[in-house]
C-alpha cells in the first residue's frame, strides 16, 4: 500500500464530509463525500491511475471501495484512515 500511495499517478480520494476534510486531510487529496460517490462515478472513472480511498477509520472508504468495484472499477483501493494514508505519503 505504501508504494501505491507514494506513486505520483495515484489519486487519493477522502470520502469524509467537507467539514471533516477541512479539519485535516492528506495533502493533494480530493474530497468526495461518501454520499456523493454514486453520483460522481463518471468523474472517478475518468481518473487514469490508481485511486486510494480514505476516511476517518476505513469504514466509509471500505463502503466506497465495495460500491466502485461493483461498478466495474479495478483501480480502487481502501487506504483506511486518512491519518495512515498521510503517514505513508510522507515517508
Confidence (pTM): 0.96
Q: What pLDDT score was predicted for residue 36?
A: 98
Q: What is the 3-state secondary structure (H, E, C) of the chain?
A: CHHHHHCCCCEEEECCCHHHHHCCCCCCCEECCHHHHHHHHHHHHCCCCCEEEEECCCHHHHHHHHHHHHCCCCCEEEEEEHHHHHHHHHC
**Percent of the chain at pLDDT exceeding 70:** 100
36: phi then psi, degrees, rounded to nearest 5: -100, -10
State the chain's maximal CA–CA distance in angstroms: 33
We report the CATH number of the domain holding residue 71 as: 3.40.250.10
Instruction: Write out the catalytic residue numbers.
Output: 55
What residue numbers bound the domain in which 80 lies? Answer: 2-90
Residues recorded for the chain? 91
Number of domains in the chain: 1
Cell digits of residue 72: 466495474
> Does residue 4 have a pLDDT over 90?
yes
Amino acid at each position: 500500500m505504501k508504494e501505491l500511495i507514494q506513486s505520483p499517478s495515484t489519486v487519493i480520494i477522502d470520502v469524509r464530509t467537507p467539514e471533516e476534510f477541512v479539519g485535516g486531510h492528506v495533502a493533494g487529496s480530493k474530497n468526495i463525500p461518501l454520499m456523493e460517490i454514486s453520483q460522481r462515478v463518471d468523474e472517478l472513472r475518468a481518473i487514469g491511475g490508481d485511486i486510494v480511498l480514505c476516511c476517518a477509520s476505513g469504514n466509509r472508504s471500505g463502503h466506497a471501495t465495495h460500491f466502485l468495484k461493483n461498478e466495474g472499477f479495478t483501480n480502487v483501493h481502501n487506504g483506511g484512515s486518512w491519518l495512515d494514508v498521510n503517514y505513508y505519503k510522507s515517508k
